[in-house]
Amino acid sequence: MRHFTSVQEIGDLKQALENARYVKQNPFADQSLGHNKTLMLIFFNSSLRTRLSTQKAGMNLGMNVIVLDINQGAWKLETEQGVVMDGDKPEHILEAIPVMGSYCDVIGVRSFAQFENKENDYNELILNQFIRYSGKPVFSMEAATRHPLQSFADLITIEEYKKRERPKVVLTWAPHPRALPQAVPNSFAEWMNATDYEFVITHPEGYELDPQFVGDATVEYDKEKAYRDADFIYAKNWAAYRDPHYGKVLSTDRTWTVDAAKMALTNDAYFMHCLPVRRNMIVSDDVIDSARSIVIPEAANRVVSAQTVLKEILLSI
Ligand code: AN0
Ligand code: CP
């Protein structure tokens, strides 16, 4: 594997899960792989889990790790090509990317959708420029349309907790006061569609995701019906995808908050969320504080997904 941006590059899922199990059981077995290799993590947006878990994954593999927050201390970067740079951005990404590439062996990038131009977001303008101009393997730490390290960790977690071979997994939209990207639900859908699970997406009308990610998942607008007999409830907010409301908050309807009454409809489902989560908006305190909540082991598996992917990248260079 050279670049990692989606489920596509992970190859066979069963093999990837096998690799993840090995990494989890033997976290320090491959320290020599990363010896004298530098991992550079570039953040255009905030992060707690991705920043820490990916650093930890690199360190477990014996790598040196450099973290850069573009918005704190670096020059503001122009990302559009062909513009007259007479504004507030002193440096162009066309120089910044190859310079960063020259200081490292592998690059991780976090760059959310900006909700200014759907085409730019859905063409992954920033991530693709890193792939094109850095000269180094690049992996996504959540880009405009996907968050594959999160989805891989989610899959690992479901495999660890599932009680039946083909669990029913439900992705539910939940309310949030601000506009959030579709990357997490898009990516989760893409990874769930690659399994043989029963996969259902539920959301209010107007929150339809890009059909390329929904694939052949069942979309059920009746949330109570969707929850019925579920083994996993995976909650996430996202802003509208469809035009003319792209990037807009259309509803903060708290009947969509994951609560004990809806969880009671399930097959004693586990509750999952990628975090950070707003309590009593996305999920009620009693659900996230219950024994059915697996958000902490889910977050812990972020080290495992990152290390499994980084190991594959190191094996290819
Ligand atoms: C981000 C999102 O919704 O994409 C990151 C989640 C991992 N969340 C927020 O910005 C709150
Ligand atoms: N789940 C996740 O990616 O969290 P951070 O935004 O804190 O990295």
Dist. CA 139 → ligand 1 center (Å): 18
Q: Which CATH number applies to 7-146+302-316?
A: 3.40.50.1370
Label residue 135 by pLDDT band (50, 70, 90): very high
Does the predicted TM-score (pTM) go above 0.85? Answer: yes
pLDDT single digits (tens) 6-65: 999 999 999 999 999 999 999 999 999 999 999 999 999 999 999 999 999 999 999 999
Q: Report the nearest-CA residue for atom 6 of ligand 2.
A: 47
Question: For residues 144 and 238, what is the distance between their CA atoms, to the nearest angstrom?
Answer: 12
* Cβ–ligand 2 contact at 146 (below 6 Å): no
Q: Tokens 């880009």 appear where?
A: 143
What pLDDT is recorded for position 45? Answer: 97
CATH 3.40.50.1370 boundaries in the chain = 7-146+302-316, 150-298
What pLDDT is recorded for position 88? Answer: 95
What pLDDT is recorded for position 9? Answer: 97
Label residue 73 by pLDDT band (50, 70, 90): confident
What pLDDT is recorded for position 202? Answer: 99
Dist. CA 164 → ligand 1 center (Å): 30
What pLDDT is recorded for position 219? Answer: 98
What pLDDT is recorded for position 70? Answer: 95
Q: Report the nearest-CA residue for atom 11 of ligand 1.
A: 276
Correct CATH for 150-298 of 3.40.718.10, 1.10.3720.10, 3.40.50.1370, 3.50.50.60: 3.40.50.1370
